[in-house]
């Protein structure tokens, strides 16, 4: 299990970007840490669990033909 210890001013999207490679994994990060769900800006020294995510996911922002979907 990987963890991350926050620094003053960390936010969910920044942590997701630093630890998982994209801010799009912010929801996965929040779901893995339900006790901190209501936190927007973290103080220092909060230990968060970093979930395992499929980092090869195709972003949903691509049009269907670039995602390999047949319409």
Over residues 46-69, the pLDDT tens digits come to: 999 999 987 555 556 777 776 665
Kindly report the pTM of this predicted structure: 0.74
* E strand map for 13-62: 47-50
**What is the chain's alpha carbon radius of gyration, rounded to the nearest angstrom?**
14
Total structural domains within the chain = 1
pLDDT per residue over 15-48, tens digit each?
Answer: 999 999 889 999 999 999 999 999 999 999 999 9
Q: Which of 57, 53, 56, 49 is nearest to 12 (CA)?
A: 49
Domain that holds residue 53: 2-67
CA pair distance 26, 20, nearest whole angstrom? 9
How buried is residue 33: exposed, middle or buried, by Cβ count under 10 Å (0-12/13-18/19+)?
buried
């Amino acid at each position: 299990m990987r963890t991350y210890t926050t620094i003053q001013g960390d936010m969910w999207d920044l942590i997701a970007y630093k630890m998982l490679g994209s801010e799009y994994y912010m929801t996965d990060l929040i779901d893995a840490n339900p006790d901190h769900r209501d936190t927007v800006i973290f103080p220092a020294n909060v230990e968060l669990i970093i979930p395992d995510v499929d980092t090869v996911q195709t972003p949903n922002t691509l049009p269907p033909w670039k995602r390999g979907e047949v319409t």
